[in-house]
């Protein structure tokens, strides 16, 4: 129903041959998770040993069928934008009272500030730290992030395949922060409103 309401066309959860080729490749095999398991003295003999494309990278999600609460969704930048737009004031999907839940800090006792489904830019270590305190966002291990600025009504989308072909020691939140600073600089003085900028 939500996909239809928002007219999302590229979203999929499970691998399908038709859409797999359109997805960015991720890691070559499950080397990163294999190393984590080895460090904990855990053994497992079903690691994937090929370049993953169009299937979820997270092994927990993969072995649970490819769609879980933490992982498994694929879509293009335009559908990410349409999905994010509903969390701005004036949305047709949420009432004002419901929308407020997505901006209310529910974990003020912790350095990681979370709302109903989102991370707040006030969190101690996040890619949205150069945004306003009310900004909400989410990031993915593979190098993705989405941040929403409610006052400016700007949406910041960064989609990378930073773990291709292997996971390295890139500090992704620093890259996200630089991306936001550059984006803010580019949109400063522009007419307020949401933008999709291809780069």
Helix (H) or strand (E) holding 85: helix 77-85
CA geometry: angle 161, 11, 128, nearest 5 deg: 50
Task: Give the model confidence (pLDDT) of 64-113 as tens digits.
Answer: 999 998 899 999 999 999 999 999 988 778 899 999 999 999 999 999 99
Task: Give the model confidence (pLDDT) of 116-150 as tens digits.
Answer: 999 999 998 899 999 999 999 999 999 999 999 99
Residue 5 — very low, low, confident or very high, per pLDDT cuts 50/70/90? confident
Token duo for residue 37 = 């398991």
Task: Give the model confidence (pLDDT) of 163-183 as tens digits.
Answer: 999 999 999 999 999 999 999
Helix (H) or strand (E) holding 183: helix 172-187
Q: Which of 106, 107, 109, 158 is nearest to 131 (CA)?
A: 158
| pTM (two decimals) | 0.89
- CA dist., res. 100 & res. 113, Å (int): 15
């Amino acid at each position: 129903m939500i996909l239809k309401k928002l007219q999302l066309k590229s979203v999929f959860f499970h691998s399908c041959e038709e859409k797999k080729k359109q997805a960015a490749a991720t890691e070559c095999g499950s080397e990163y998770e294999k190393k984590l398991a080895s460090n904990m003295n855990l053994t497992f003999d079903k690691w994937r040993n090929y370049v993953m494309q169009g299937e979820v990278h997270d092994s927990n999600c993969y072995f649970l069928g490819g769609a879980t609460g933490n992982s498994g969704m694929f879509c293009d930048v335009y559908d990410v934008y349409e999905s994010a737009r509903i969390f701005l004031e004036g949305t047709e999907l949420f009432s004002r009272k419901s929308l407020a839940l997505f901006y209310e800090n529910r974990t003020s006792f912790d350095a990681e500030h979370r709302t109903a489904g989102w991370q707040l830019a006030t969190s101690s270590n996040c890619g949205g730290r150069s945004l306003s305190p009310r900004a909400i966002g989410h990031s993915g291990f593979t190098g993705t992030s989405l941040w929403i600025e409610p006052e400016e009504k700007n949406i910041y989308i960064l989609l990378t395949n930073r773990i291709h072909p292997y996971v390295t020691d890139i500090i992704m939140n620093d890259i996200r922060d630089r991306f936001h600073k550059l984006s803010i600089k580019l949109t400063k003085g522009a007419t307020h409103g949401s933008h999709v900028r291809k780069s």
